Chains A and B, each alone.
Chain A
Amino acid sequence: MAGDLLVVEDLRVYFPLYRSLLERLLGRPYKIVRAVDGVSFTLGRREVLAVVGESGSGKTTLGKAILGLVKPVSGRILFDGVDLARAKGGEARRVRRRISAVFQDPYKSLDPLMPVGEQVAEPLLIHRMAGRSEARRMAMEMLEKVGLTPASEFYWRRPHQLSGGQRQRVAIARALITQPDLIVADEPVSMIDVSLRASILELLESARRELGVSVILITHDIATARVIADTVAVMYLGRIVEYGPIDAVVEDPRHPYTAALVTSTPSISRRRPPRFPVKGEIGDPANPPPGCRFHPRCPLALEECRRVEPPSASDSGRTYWCLNPLGPGGLWRGVEA
């Protein structure tokens, strides 16, 4: 669509798997991990897309590919119509600075010696978007906006003089200062105290509301995702297995893995569906099963699921890849183990 900010088409990112010396001496072939293996989606302006899924399903790799931190083996990423793999020189820089990142561990992503205010101002200098004093003024303003007040005092603090939640606010301020159109936030609250997570999510939400940024929120916690996301992509072993408006996908999923994910998430709510039973342990991305990658664990698997890669299907706004999906309301009726 013309109005979309980001279009990802059939993206694939593979990594070579480490071989032991013995394996190399024996001439064993390289194995590859298909971390992202044919992912497509679009992201609108001001949209918050959550990417959820099991550990190792490729969420971080997808985010890194969009940030240009890993190189896809195939597929396309179009940002505002520009193909990120093809953009060169000035155009590449102009596009790149419109995409910012927030990572899980704010301690690792900040320089321990530099005052945090200077770190917020830094991207403006790197991208030559402001002079030194202008950058400082804007950084003060941004610190204020993310709730680090009084900004004139916080500006000069070092990361170790801040709490985990405050450090993540600094990281978000740094991501916002260049007025990006897109923020890729990879597990931004996982290392924050539970009692403070909501305020970090609220910050991302207000960035969307007030600054109009789009957000890709990568998280393993679908309850966190539901707080601020409009849409959700559920990943399993390198693929998206279900995609759509988050309320529809959570309340009335089609894909059995989504059903397992939402019904396994702890909850104290009285109104909740019965647990959807799955077998086995988490899948191995270096050895994905043939056919549907979820079939070995799926209680609804048919004979053909072992052989046939499920094509996409659509149903009231959501897309899913499954040959034997749950029907409407199926989640709430439950399945025999």
Chain B
Amino acid sequence: MAETIISVRGLKVYYYTLSGVVRAVDGVDLDIARGEWVTIVGESGSGKSTLALSMMGLVLPPGRIVGGSVLFDGVDLTKLSGEELRRLRGKRIGVIFQDPSAYLDPLRTVGSQIAEAVLEHGVASSESDAWRIAEEALEIVGVPASRARAYPHQLSGGQRQRVAIAAAIALNPDVLIADEPTTALDVVVQARIIELLKGLQRRRGLTIVMVTHDIALAGEVSDRIAVMYSGRVVEWGSAERVIGSPLHPYTRLLIDSVPDLWSRRKVRSIPGEPPDPRRPPSGCRFHPRCPLAVEECRSRQPPRVSAADGWAECFFAGEAGGGR
């Protein structure tokens, strides 16, 4: 495997709210290799966004990193000042979100917004240089350079997301964090945005960390998948293996619960409800919904059982049929 670019160790990110402490990320270890596409999947509230954003040192109040570290190219982000983090973000780590309108200024043309970021981070030395880079970035993502003078509202949702990607890649970052980048888009447009990102990964060696609740999408595009449940990564491994022969019962049940257009298997919901992250269940957090659960699952945190390409946190993961 290639060199590690992001290394998450024992990471805990908690939100201190009036109704209690939300353990959004509660002891996560992950190593992400340069140039790979990692996707974090899981149900709503499992901590996917919190984990992904903490990989760029971004933790929103009332959240705090209460333990562990995030090494980006050897530098511990949890130890950097706000200013140092800001410089690193943008320049070396780009980010796109589900709703690009949230960070595109409605009153300025998309080209000038990209050009400004390019200047600010010192990627270009003159305004005309910056504008040229902005136009190039737009062309790369399939927005004609002539649209650089358009305002965000003059673009379609898919085009706005392309502009957001252009803004991120104009700075030529090593890593792109993409939090549900296509959730608001139609599948036909989604397919083209994903193809675009895939091309950037291949051609530029861009590392991509994507968050989605769509496990089929994760299976299609990723090199490796992290499955989150209630603040923990419960399974980690190659996309092919995680989807094809999951080790964790949660992963298996999650796959079985979503309809797949091309296989006529019956879908079944996972029994019970996702846990309240303020009061996660004892032991294995999935035990109240798990058909395999035994007494031990209630009382002890399951060990991390290794597979050739990753691991799963389950007492049964090592046995044949653990994921059945």
Interface residue ranges, A against B (CB under 8 Å): 54-55, 163, 165-166, 193-199, 201-202, 220-224, 226-227, 250, 260-262, 264-269, 271-272, 275, 278, 281-282
Contacts and interface: CB of A to CB of B under 8 A. Distances in A.
Contacts of B262: 267, 269, 271-272
Interface stretch (B18-26, B64-72, B75-83, B264-272): B264-272
Nearest to A227: B259
Range class of the B interface residue count: 35 or more
Interface string B158-173: 1100000000000000
B44 interface: yes
Contact of B187 (A198, A261, A269): A261
B270 A196 contact: yes
A196 B188 contact: no
A260 B188 contact: yes
B60 interface: no
A282 B216 contact: no
A250 B191 CA distance: 18
B191 A222 contact: no
B213 A194 contact: yes
Given A227-B259, A250-B261, A267-B260, A261 B243 contact: no
Interface string B187-200: 11111000000000
Contacts of B268: 198
A195 B270 contact: yes
A271 B243 CA distance: 15
A295 to B, nearest CB: 15
Closest 5 CB pairs of A and B: A269-B262, A199-B269, A264-B191, A266-B216, A266-B217
B136 interface: no
Contact of B220 (A227, A262, A268): A268
Nearest to B274: A193
B222 to A, nearest CB: 11
Nearest to A283: B156
Given A55-B186, A196-B270, A267-B220, A223 B260 contact: yes
A interface majority secondary structure: helix
A278 B188 contact: yes
Interface string B256-300: 011111111001111001100000000000000000000000000
B214 interface: yes
A262 B261 contact: yes
A226 B261 contact: yes
Contacts of B43: 193-195
25 contacts: A165-B273, A166-B273, A194-B213, A194-B214, A194-B215, A195-B253, A195-B254, A195-B274, A196-B257, A197-B267, A198-B268, A221-B187, A224-B259, A227-B267, A264-B187, A265-B187, A266-B190, A268-B260, A269-B260, A278-B188, A281-B158, A281-B159, A282-B156, A282-B157, A282-B186
A221 to B, nearest CB: 8
Nearest to B273: A163
Contact of A197 (B190, B216, B219, B257): B257
A282 B189 contact: yes
Contacts of A268: 215-216, 219-220, 243, 255, 260
